[in-house]
Amino acid sequence: MEKKGAWLQFQGELIGQGKEAARKTLTDKPELFKKVVDAVVAHRLAAALAAEAAHAPKIAPAAAPAGK
């Protein structure tokens, strides 16, 4: 979601001029609402996974069994 002056825009599509107009557009267009929600969830999930990976302990690979 981007703000262009008073307009809100998502993936190049103007959603509405101001918060209330954007809310009405998303209410009136459930397919657009779903695309916005899916994009937000994907972004938050990617950020959470990146944060988790950054803080995960580094585990050394297991040594091969002796004699093989």
The domain spans of the chain are 2-54
pTM of the predicted model, to two decimals?
0.67
Instruction: Dump pLDDT digits (tens) for 34-67.
Output: 999 999 999 999 888 888 777 766 666 666 666 6
pLDDT tops 60 at residue 68:
no
> Which of the listed CATH numbers 3.40.50.10310, 3.30.250.10, 3.40.1130.10, 3.30.210.10 matches domain 2-54?
3.30.250.10
Phi, psi of 16 (to 5 degrees): 175, 160
Mean pLDDT (the chain, rounded): 86
Distance CA(18)–CA(23), nearest Å, equals 9
In this structure, what token pair is assigned to residue 28?
């009136």
Does 48 or 15 have the greater pLDDT score?
A: 15
In the sheet that holds 7-10, the strands lie side by side as 2-4, 7-10, 13-17
